Structure 1
Amino acid sequence: MTTVEIATDPQAHASPGVVRRPRSSWRSPALLLALAVIALVALAALLPGALTRQDPLVIHLDQSFAAPSAEHWFGNDQSGRDVFARVVHGTRQSVLIGLGATALAMAGALVLGLLAGLGSRFTDGAVNRAVEVLYAFPGLLLALVLITVFGNGALTQIVAVGVASLPGYTRMVRGQVLAVRFAPYVQAARTLGHPSRTIVARTILPNAFRPLVALITLGVGQAIVWAAALGFLGLGVQPPAPEWGAMLNAGRNYLQQAWWLDFFPGAVIILTTLAVTVLGRFLQNATRPGSPS
């Protein structure tokens, strides 16, 4: 009798040409590292005193350009201020701008996206034309124009970066609403006689918004980078207040004699953005239709 071997590898039963996505896992080393960085950034934003007791604004001229040491981990700047303390205390400002701008952009996108996806053809066309006008300006350039018109400050940065991010979010919300609008469960809710407001609030909006969570996470990282870029250009929070982009701008003239002035704020921006991006990619894979649970 011939022995028949049964393949136990699930890939053996897959259809030819079908590539299975790798299973997302919370145990991924990259994801765990990203979560650790995000937790540390959150701690610095909420409780900076838990990480350092140094005052970020106190000047010690006798310690100007002091190199990193056991007492001052990131060294001192041209005024003798502790760079580590300034990076830690500047976290709240940078993260606040990133989260605020993303929340503002998504709130506006939900309103415009629902109007375009559920409204008449005229409403849809009007929203699309407005979005195309905003798309004509590069995002950072649009933020620069708004800050130039309305002035510097954290609130202005939030509005500027939020408006610059609005077109992309609006198109994504509109696309999701159009995909959900004629879904069978929405038609079933209409058949059962549920009011239109209830259907939109409890059925269309949650199902359209859920796939966007991962993209929103990625948008926070982009907003933080844009806020740092505006600070670097001198259009953000003004010195001596600690802010990552402003610190990069202040230290660029002393790179040869004090490399740490730009290295550590820049490294924190990169690590924070990478951590948020890794988390966003994980959520994107985990919420993608057909992904394994």
Structure 2
Amino acid sequence: MSSTDITSSPAAAGAPDAERPGPPLSDARTRARRSGARTGAALLRRPGTVLAGLFVLLMIGWVLFPGLFATADPTEIVGDSLAAPSWQHWFGTDLNGRDVYSRVVYGARVSLRAGVLAITISLVVGGLLGMLAGSVGGWVDAVISRSMEVIVSIPGLLLSLALISVLGFGVTKVAIAVGISGIPGFVRIARAETLRVSAMPYMDAARTSGTRRFLGLFSHVVPNAAGPVAVVAGIDLGGAILSIAALSFLGFGAVPPTAEWGSQINEGRLYVASAWWWSICPAIIVALTVLSANRLTRSIGTREV
């Protein structure tokens, strides 16, 4: 048999793919560069999302390292009473001569931690109740669903006020009250995902193999619900921060001289005409935080970037 016959034989033609050279490394690098370029172009087309992300990073920095961003101690008297904003005091000073900017920076730790606590309560309790309702069904589902409908029918701020009257005052108790009022939203998501996963064929196989029903649902519902829950949690985080600030403004949250956004707005409300910066600057930070959190999470949820 000639060499020509050997090279053209079916055995040679069917050689394993492992013997064939793979794509060059330069092709992978090219694809990575193109992917990065597309992501960068998408970001440039949506500057609002970029600005929202940068502001959220700034808030995280304020929470983790307030001393790096603040220009003074939040309780220290550093200037004249009600001094206007300047290069020395960016947000001016309050009635006691304390630096408003530094108090806003340190207030981020109190306000944002309270918001995260509220969302954590809503997520954990709502997720477990939703999975329980979807997996058990029957009267358990009916009781949980009707209870959530009752909670939803009550305005969130009014429900939080009612809970605070039972729990008492303080930032932590305000966060717990806000967290309880946000449970129904997560119950609906967890229940819907549980019902959807329960109807999947692989759940029948898991039950046949002896896997406990709730354990199997938990291991499959959590990964499937992670995306929708993250978006809802990010959006609700902004609402929780706003609610906590509102309740602190009403006097149910932080006690002076603790730096907290809502209480700062409340302290300066009587001086809006003569010292607007005392309450307006913290209010602007609250608004920007809520808007940035909503913008960023909605962008992630719709896969804009």
TM-score, normalising length: structure 2:
0.82
| Aligned 1:168-247 pairs, distance under 5 A | 168-191=185-208, 193-247=210-264
1:45 to 63, 80, 83: 63
How far apart are the structure 2 equivalents of 1:172 and 1:140?
A: 22
2:54 to 36, 48, 55: 36
1:274 to 280, 283, 291: 291
| Contact 1:177 1:205 (8 Å CA) reproduced | no
2:171 to 154, 162, 165: 154
Structure 2: segments with no counterpart, 5+ residues = 1-40
| Contact 1:87 1:265 (8 Å CA) reproduced | yes
Paired residue type of 1:243: E
Offset of 1:277 from its aligned partner? Answer: 0.4
How far apart are the structure 1 equivalents of 2:225 and 2:63?
A: 31
Alignment length, in residue pairs?
A: 264
| Contact 2:81 2:97 (8 Å CA) reproduced | yes
| Contact 2:135 2:214 (8 Å CA) reproduced | no
How far apart are the structure 1 equivalents of 2:184 and 2:212?
A: 30
| Aligned 1:22-171 pairs, distance under 5 A | 25-27=42-44, 28-59=46-77, 63-171=80-188
Offset of 1:122 from its aligned partner? Answer: 0.8
Structure 1: segments with no counterpart, 5+ residues = 1-23, 287-291
Please give the secondary structure, in 2, of the residue aligned with 1:76: coil
Which of the pair has the greater relative contact order for Cα pairs under 8 Å at 6+ separation? 1
Distance 1:181 1:26, change over 3 A: farther
Larger Rg: 2
Distance 1:253 1:112, change over 3 A: same
| Contact 1:173 1:209 (8 Å CA) reproduced | no
Q: Percent identity?
A: 38
Q: Give RMSD over aligned pairs.
A: 1.9
Paired residue type of 2:49: L
How far apart are the structure 1 equivalents of 2:130 and 2:85?
A: 50
How far apart are the structure 2 equivalents of 1:249 and 1:218?
A: 25
Offset of 1:240 from its aligned partner? Answer: 1.1
How far apart are the structure 2 equivalents of 1:36 and 1:209?
A: 24
